[in-house]
Structure 1
Amino acid sequence: MKTVTFEHGTVTGYKYRGCKCLACCNAYAAYQRTRNRKRAYGTWQPLVDAAPARKHLEALHARGMAWEQIARVSGVPVTELRRLRIPMGSHQPPERIRRERAQLLLAVEFDVAPTTPKALVPSVGTARRVQGLRAIGWPLPVLTERSGLSRHALTGAMRQAMVQETTRTAVVELYDDLKDQDPRRHGVPDESTRKAITWAARSGWAAPNCWLSSDIDDPDAKPGPPEGRRYSSPSAGDRRQAIVDDTAELASQGCTREVIAVRLGVSWEAVQRAHSRAGVRIPPILSSGSVAA
């Protein structure tokens, strides 16, 4: 996690970072003398406009930093951040804040790493990734199984403004693995794929090839026209190996040759050719084609 550094020989170091070195003590003593003198002349103005700090905080949060994380990095309590952002009872957010507080808040730089796995982050990128996978045919039950997340977590990410960091991380990894993969090549039935695509189309969800990687987490960005193919084009060797691997898996589940051909979206003759060219024997259990579906 990033932390805000400070220079020794400053009031910030003494007052807010707890540094008691000689340089910081001297700086604080000079600050006290200046303050007392300006107070005597009536020119003491310790407060500054709160708008720049407030705008900076909102920008950090919109990009994904949790409020707890901002508080930890800046050293400003979460309660103060809350008072700066939203009304508290009959009290409106302050128009002016102490100069030192503003300096601490403006010094915070964006850091995507959360303070805790359960920290809340904006859900916009997570929702777009789930929607994108649905748009290319990945059914929700399959996404649930592959991500290790509950159905509630995935659907909630598309409805709620915030999600836990653990959910965001799991969805990002899932999306990176599947964003250009044809579900049918991974054993997903055609009917399930069609239903997912139809649902996404009716909902107006954009496919992954409509998003730039730099825009998908930006709440102000919009999807563009599709670029390139929806699914990656595997090499002939990859296709053969996929057929061989999927055939073995489906055979172990008790599927017949006819069912396997339908699930893989090819003819049984194509399955036989793939095994022949890969130098792999067809599972013996399929030799007669009499296995029950």
Structure 2
Amino acid sequence: DASQRFERGVDPGGQERALARAVQLIQSIAGGEAGPVIVTESEPNRPQRTPVRLRRTRLSQLLGAQFDDARVEATLAGLGMDIEPLPGGWHVTAPSYRFDIAIEADLIEEVARIVGYEAIGEDDAQGSERVRAQPETEPAEHAVLEVLAMRGYQEAVSYAFVDPRLQQQLFPDAAALALANPIASDLSVMRVSLWPGLLKAALENQRRQRERIRLFEHGARFECRDGTTHEIDTLAGVACGARWPEQWGVSAAMREPADFFDVKGDLQALFGALSPPASWRYEPQTHPCLHPGRSARLMRGDHPVGWLG
């Protein structure tokens, strides 16, 4: 209770009002006469409220309506605020118990609340609309995700913070950003890849007797380089189990486990929706968490953009 009260603030000028109310209750029950109130305070150490400037132009700009000065002043004065007229506006000092009045927008909100939102007329927005360019080499996000969905993948959403032990096993040389106040010990570092979350999701599906798993995720990963953390937009996927889903007419040979070339075919379909397939190529390379001889670096032109394995 004390924490909540002091986080919201304590009115430094409320003691006299509280004392007067307590005396009133005591007198109504027990009678008697109250003595004088003696207040001892250190004025230099008492919190001071800083005046907030309210401009007429800003008031009309945010609310989209014009108000008479007398109406604005009466509204704020009725809330116990001290008002000092200025050229083009006012200096307003809120009472000591109004901790929520700190900036100009707070005062504008109070005017709108007291005057009434129904008193502010409606009008069409004034401004030109611009359609953002969408080059063919940069397809919309939904188009990319639809390609994976048509290939049988389902979208997963995982935490951006992961188990440090799992991430260390997958990426032993990658520096990770540790959280100062994690929600759990196994969610204490920011992910350097989407793979840890996808692998945990695949494992949970296997525990529930899911034999064929196709998952993908679109999200941010975090790299620490040169003392700076970089947030990188990333797309990743995982494929486990049979090559084809179980259905009539699918032979046992077609139900063999998916391999490197099955996932490569999914990527080829994805690349065809992104840009000319000729701009993508594969280079044999090794990764700490991928099987040797069954991994490749994805290149777009001369730039490495991902891994396959």
TM range (shorter): under 0.3
Higher helix proportion (structure 1 or 2): 1
Larger radius of gyration: 2
Higher strand proportion (structure 1 or 2): 2
Instruction: With the length of structure 2 as denominator, give the TM-score of the two structures.
Output: 0.22
- Answer 1 or 2: higher relative contact order, Cα 8 Å, separation at least 6: 1
Instruction: With the length of structure 1 as denominator, give the TM-score of the two structures.
Output: 0.23
